[in-house]
Amino acid sequence: MRFSMWGAAMWVVATTLLASVSLDTQARALTQNQQSICRWGADIAAGAQASKLSGVSLYGARKKLQVRKFPRPWMRMTALGITEQTYDSASRLKPAAVKQTYYEQCVRHELARR
């Protein structure tokens, strides 16, 4: 029994390691701007998840974004959309996990657009 649990644990570690190496390689194939946008969106999603888990209402989270300064005009509406989708999700994942998931999916999306 111990051997099979150890083997299963090693399989999970190896799979995770391979996935992270693969993602890193894929992310390098993106332009610096695309990587930056994916990181920015992941940060917004993580912040929204943290607000949601701490009990801040969607209205409160939206108000914080409305007063925030964004360097590009499209960023405010995108941040509001990401926040709303995060609040609509039933997920109780930690913000770090949401950030990683968002980034990974963003990279895959950008590569698929090519």
Rounded to an integer, what distance in angstroms lies between the CA atom of residue 84 and that of residue 97? 18
Q: Other CB atoms closer than 10 Å to residue 7's CB: what's the count?
A: 10
Rounded to an integer, what distance in angstroms lies between the CA atom of residue 114 and that of residue 95? 29
pTM summary value:
0.76
Q: How many residues does the chain have?
A: 114
Q: pLDDT tens digits for 33-86?
A: 999 999 999 999 999 999 999 999 999 999 999 999 999 999 999 999 999 999
pLDDT at 14 over 90: no
pLDDT at 89 over 70: yes
Rounded to an integer, what distance in angstroms lies between the CA atom of residue 57 and that of residue 109? 29
Token pair for residue 17? 């390691």
pLDDT at 16 over 80: no
Q: What is the pLDDT of residue 114?
A: 80
What's the Rg (C-alpha) of the chain?
A: 17
Rounded to an integer, what distance in angstroms lies between the CA atom of residue 56 and that of residue 39? 23
